[in-house]
Amino acid sequence: MANFTPTTNAEAIPTIIAQETLKLFPGYLNLAKFVSKDTDWTGQDFATYGQTLNIVKPGTITSQTKASGSNYTNQAATADKLTVTLNQHKYISLLQEDITEMLQKPDLQQAYARNAAIVLAEEIETYLFGLHPNVTYTESFDATSATTIETSFLGIRSRFARNKIPQSMPKSAFLETSIIDKLLTVEKYSRGDYIGNTEAVRTGAVRTIYGINIFESQVVPTSGSPVCYHNIACTPYGIVLVNRPMPLSGNGKGVRMVNFTEPMTGITFRLTEGYDLDAGGLVTRLETVYGASVADPKHIIEVEST
């Protein structure tokens, strides 16, 4: 077994914090875990902020009628292109002057990692919710009573059905806190004798209503007065989150850089480590560049509530 000294441990601290951040990161995401991802590691060039990418999605497929004695008619496989700009470059950069303090306080390492994970997750979630002005379909949600809540969920379910979304396709609603609070007061969504368990009371969460998975979000955008909340219900094909590896041009020039993908979310990050002569400390930088777009308008609904 290798012998570890304070020096070697100190060098490992930035990597440990970055790894712990990425381990915690998925736990603070809702919408970003559910949407489609487009992360390409096959290209020759790394991506940069502001770059515009053409994302290929399948074109329309039609069925045909075979007449007796006639030849088959083949449909050429076509693809549509969705243009997405990598217009978000988010990073966290930590300067650590006193490595000894980090070595002596593992809880401090965990706290830095937790806070970094929360900040990055909130940035991505807020950006995705910000696509709501581009959503074609809108349903209203009235949480006044158990009856209006029921009618509202049936409206969301019916909209997916009218948009010809298969019943078996996963559907989720990402709702602001006051809606979740109201749901927890409705017996049929929370009482054990209705739903078969006491999970809603234990966890403060409602899982599924009419085939729609329910998630609480703290970053639902608002507008107007009185306030209107712009919640989102969608399938994985409603939004595409586009993300690419970043250049590693600093390697061999006094810093260490590496790209890696967080496996649960599919989001790629670049980790940079190096000593800052001016600041007199070790710098750890975790960053990602991404963009997003509504992918298939029929697969996403803006759910407005007040």
Q: Is 260 part of any domain? A: no
Higher pLDDT, 6 or 190: 190
Q: Is 187 part of any domain? A: yes
Q: What is the pLDDT of residue 242?
A: 93
Q: What b-and-e string marks burial along 160-195, b requiring 16 or more CB atoms within 10 Å of the CB?
A: beebebeeeeebbbbbbeebbebbeebeebbeeeeb
- How many residues does this entry show for the chain? 306
Over the chain, what is the mean pLDDT? 85
Task: Give the DSSP H/E element, type plus range, for residue 190.
Answer: helix 187-190
The owner of tokens 């927890």 is: 184
- Residue 141, pLDDT above cutoff 60: yes
Return the half-sphere exposure (C-beta side, CA atoms, 13 A cut-off) of residue 98: 6
- Residue 4, pLDDT above cutoff 50: no
- Residue 116, pLDDT above cutoff 70: yes
Q: What is the DSSP string of the chain?
A: -----HHHHHHHHHHHHHHHHHHHGGGG-SHHHHSEEEE---SSS---TT-EEEEEEE------PPPTTPPP-PPP--EEEEEEE--EEEEEEEEES-HHHHHH-HHHHHHHHHHHHHHHHHHHHHHHHTTGGG-SEEEEE--SSHHHHHHHHHHHHHHHHHTT--TTS-EEEEE-HHHHHHHTTSHHHH-HHHHSSSHHHHHS---EETTEEEEE-S---EETTTTEEEEEEE-TTSEEEEE-----TTBTTTEEEEEEEETTTTEEEEEEEEEETTTTEEEEEEEEEEEEEE--GGGEEEEEE-
pTM confidence score: 0.85
Return the half-sphere exposure (C-beta side, CA atoms, 13 A cut-off) of residue 31: 31
Q: Is 152 part of any domain? A: yes
Q: Is 172 part of any domain? A: yes
CATH number at residue 171: 3.30.2320
The radius of gyration of the chain from alpha carbons, rounded to an integer in Å, stands at 24
Q: Is 123 part of any domain? A: no
Q: Is 163 part of any domain? A: yes
Q: Is 19 part of any domain? A: no
pLDDT digits (tens, 9 = 90+) for 201-237: 445 567 788 999 999 999 999 999 999 999 999 999 9
Q: What b-and-e string marks burial along 111-147, b requiring 16 or more CB atoms within 10 Å of the CB?
A: ebbbebbeebbebbbebbbebbeebebebebbbeeee
pLDDT band at residue 250 under the 50/70/90 scheme: confident
pLDDT band at residue 273 under the 50/70/90 scheme: confident
Q: What range defines the domain where residue 138 resides?
A: 132-238+297-305
Nearest residue to 212 via CA among 172, 257, 156 = 172
- Residue 106, pLDDT above cutoff 90: no
Nearest residue to 125 via CA among 233, 204, 33, 36 = 33
Q: What is the pLDDT of residue 201?
A: 47
Q: Is 191 part of any domain? A: yes
DSSP 8-state secondary structure symbol assigned to residue 25: G
Torsion angle in degrees (nearest 10) through CA of 197, 202, 203, 206: 40
Gap between the Cα atoms of 12 and 18, Å rounded: 10
Gap between the Cα atoms of 243 and 34, Å rounded: 15
β-strand pairing of 52-58 with 79-85 = antiparallel
- Name the domain count of the chain: 1
Nearest residue to 282 via CA among 116, 22, 93 = 93
Point out the least confidently predicted range of 6-20, 47-61, 139-153, 248-262.
Answer: 6-20
Q: What is the pLDDT of residue 8?
A: 43
